[in-house]
């Protein structure tokens, strides 16, 4: 059955405060509401990468009966991006799921790649933020989170110099200079998130090393979270977002069990 065209919907006033909603085939009123996934692209939070990276995954999900909300956000290198705008945009885009036509907001998972994997985990942990912090008091509580080659620990990422200082650029300084920002923004600092999590990482990844996911999984389990880690020995950083790759098949199976 042919899928309906994606709809671009604004969740704010900036041109990048938008998302593309991909719905399954059928009548939303009669056949929906459908479970949904918030898709978040990577690119080390920098301008130059956008949500089209995740469009093939969005279409694949819609073809499987799962709505996909493929979001954009302001990035480092453009006005309003970085701290706290990038986090605030991800939070606002996630909250916009509540009220989207055809979407069941009680059955939503976050899925992100690389820097988007960071945001996918962070969105699942927003309820642990103190009032007044960027992203605090969420309207949407995801029922699960998936990080594909995700940057799950921003302090470790900064110390390792990931992306040529991408963590520092996002948060405006080193971890010892702005520790309160790292405490708010890093998923590892928000544990336990209280929702099931899936980490998918290729062992050939030389952009975000698999140790990010291994160490985070161990810490999350120790904190009491349900976490599954899938390491793919032949996969690199971008294989995990190929719709035909076994890594994506593993994500889809996991989502089906939880949505």
Q: Spell out the domain ranges in the chain.
A: 7-258
Distance, C-alpha 93 to centroid of its chain: 11
Q: Does residue 237 have a pLDDT over 80?
A: yes
At residue 6, the pLDDT reads: 96
Mean pLDDT for all residues in the chain: 97
pTM of the model: 0.97
Element (H, E) at 229: strand 227-232
Alpha carbons 100 and 145: distance in angstroms, whole number: 20
48 CB neighbour count, 10 Å cutoff: 10
Task: State pLDDT tens for residues 97-138.
Answer: 999 999 999 999 999 999 999 999 999 999 999 999 999 999
Task: State pLDDT tens for residues 38-58.
Answer: 999 999 999 989 999 999 999
- 126 DSSP 8-state letter: G
Q: Specify the CATH class of 7-258 in words.
A: alpha beta
Alpha carbons 185 and 6: distance in angstroms, whole number: 30
At residue 1, the pLDDT reads: 66
Q: Does residue 211 have a pLDDT over 90?
A: yes
Alpha-carbon torsion, ordered 203, 146, 54, 50, to 10 deg: -90
Rounded to 5°, the CA angle 219-222-226 comes to 90
pLDDT band at 30 (very low <50, low <70, confident <90, very high): confident
């Amino acid at each position: 059955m042919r899928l309906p065209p994606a709809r671009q919907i604004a969740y704010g006033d900036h041109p990048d405060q938008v998302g593309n909603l991909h719905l399954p085939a059928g009548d939303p009123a009669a056949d929906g509401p459908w479970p949904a996934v918030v898709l978040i692209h990577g690119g080390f939070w920098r301008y130059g990468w956008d949500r089209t990276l995740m469009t093939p995954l969005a279409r694949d999900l819609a073809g499987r009966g799962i709505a996909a909300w493929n979001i954009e956000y302001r990035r480092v290198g453009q006005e309003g991006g970085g701290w706290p705008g990038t986090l605030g945009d991800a939070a606002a885009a996630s909250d916009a799921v509540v009220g989207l036509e055809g979407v069941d907001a009680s059955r939503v998972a976050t899925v992100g790649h690389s820097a988007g994997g960071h945001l996918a985990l962070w969105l699942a942990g927003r309820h642990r933020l103190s009032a007044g912090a960027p992203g605090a008091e969420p309207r949407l509580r995801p029922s699960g989170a998936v990080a594909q080659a995700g940057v799950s620990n921003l302090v470790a990422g900064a110390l390792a110099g990931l992306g040529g200082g991408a963590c520092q650029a996002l948060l405006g300084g080193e971890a010892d200079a702005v520790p309160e920002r790292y405490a708010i923004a890093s998923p590892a600092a928000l544990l336990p998130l209280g929702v099931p999590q899936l980490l998918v990482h290729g062992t050939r990844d030389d952009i975000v090393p698999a140790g990010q996911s291994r160490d985070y999984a161990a810490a999350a389990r120790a904190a009491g979270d349900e976490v599954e880690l899938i390491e793919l020995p032949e996969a690199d950083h971008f294989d995990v977002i190929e719709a035909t790759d076994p890594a994506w098949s593993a994500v889809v199976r996991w989502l089906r069990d939880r949505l």
